[in-house]
Amino acid sequence: MRIPTLETQRLRLEPLGPAHAPAYLDYVVRNREHLQPWEPLRGDRFFTREGVDEEIARIAVLQERGEAARFAAFERDTQYLAGVTGLWNIRRGVIHAATIGYSADAAVQGRGLTTEAAAAVIAWAFGELRLHRIETSYQPTNAASARVLRKLGFAVEGYARDYLYLNGSWTDGILVAKINDGWQAPERPHAFISPPHPNGATLDGAAELRYGLPITRRCSRRSPSR
Ligand SMILES: CC(C)(COP(=O)(O)OP(=O)(O)OC[C@H]1O[C@@H](n2cnc3c(N)ncnc32)[C@H](O)[C@@H]1OP(=O)(O)O)[C@@H](O)C(=O)NCCC(=O)NCCS
């Protein structure tokens, strides 16, 4: 999937890639304590250059398959990596949905930067990607995240007990979503999930439409007539 650089008034959101490894390493190290309560438990390796390279490579595979898009948000004035915002679990078929996630550097919180970054990602997702639904959850104690989502126009849909395993324990989640009321169907519904799989498999658009989930199948080469 082609992921563009997004520009906002104060931010430049670059698709996270290998060139960002030094800045991303610095980001995760300096924000380790700040982010730990809201994230999966991370081993020490995650906070090394090798760990960050592995994480970026893992994301690259998902981005190639059209299943995720993660952006490094740099302040345009200072080039400071102010946050990370992205979509994961992008699904097509009958749902055209994704989950949004974000974090902000501890030092720049409260300036509206995460809201600005997420708004740009949502606009891209509802526009170019033609997603119909963006969903996420936040812990009942995460007042800052609740506020971000409220400012972005998300609506509460439910409460899930023991929803996510974060920081070493199951945490409840308030489920929220934002709907693209102006949704237009992609010209080719599976256009964003059809690039060749890195392992040589292809995503079967017809099966994906039928079952609402990407289904991989092995194939050596498509015949020219198909
Ligand atoms: C949640 C997080 C991404 C917000 O980033 P941010 O850049 O500060 O977000 P914004 O500035 O766009 O908006 C934050 C809003 O929350 C408000 N806020 C912050 N702390 C708050 C609190 N304890 N109680 C109520 N509101 C709070 C801010 O005042 C602001 O609202 P305002 O613009 O109306 O004043 C950041 O705090 C963070 O990285 N937290 C840890 C990771 C995390 O929680 N990720 C999300 C998991 S669901």
pLDDT per residue as tens digits for the range 86-145: 999 999 999 999 999 999 999 999 999 999 999 999 999 999 999 999 999 999 999 999
145, 151, 156: residue to mutate for ligand 1 pocket, most atoms within 8 A of CB:
145
Residues at CB less than 6 angstroms from ligand 1 = 35, 38, 102-104, 109-115, 138, 142-145, 147-148
Distance, CA 151 to ligand 1 centroid (Å)?
Answer: 10
List, in sequence order, every residue forming a beta bridge with 173; answer none if it has no partner: 160
Which among 6, 1, 2 has a CA at the least distance from the CA of 117? 6
The average pLDDT across 193-203 equals: 42
Distance 35 CA to ligand 1 centre (A): 12
- What 8-state DSSP symbol labels residue 16? P
Q: What residue's CA is closest to ligand 1, atom 40?
A: 103
CA dihedral angle for residue 78, residue 40, residue 86, residue 187, rounded to 10 degrees: 170
Residues 205, 212: Cα–Cα separation, whole Å: 10
| DSSP designation for 224 | T
Find the mean pLDDT for residues 181-195: 69
CA of 138 to the centre of ligand 1 (A): 11
Coil, helix or strand at residue 210:
helix
**Which residue minimizes the CA distance to atom 24 of ligand 1?**
143
3-state secondary structure of 152: helix
* Angle between helical axes of 143-152 and 113-126 (0-180°, round to 10): 50
Cβ atoms of 212 and 158 within 8 Å: the answer is no
pLDDT band per the 50, 70, 90 thresholds, residue 187: confident
Q: How far away, in angstroms, is 204 Cα from ligand 1 center?
A: 40
For the segment 189-216, the average pLDDT, to the nearest whole number, is 44
How far apart are the CA of 195 and the centre of ligand 1, in A? 36
Q: What is the pLDDT of residues 150-169, one digit of tens each?
A: 999 999 999 999 999 999 99
Q: How far is the CA of 176 from the centre of ligand 1 (A)?
A: 16
pLDDT number for residue 186: 86
Q: Residues 72, 13: contact at Cβ < 8 Å?
A: yes
Looking at ligand 1, which residue's alpha carbon is closest to its atom 12?
112
Look at residue 34 and give its three-state secondary structure.
helix
Residue 77: Cβ within 10 Å count: 8
Please give the domain boundaries of the chain with CATH numbers for all domains: 6-181 (3.40.630.30)
Given ligand 1 and candidates 31, 148, 150, 175, which is best to mutate, with the most ligand atoms within 8 Å of its CB? Answer: 148
Length of the chain: 226
Chain centroid to CA 198: 20
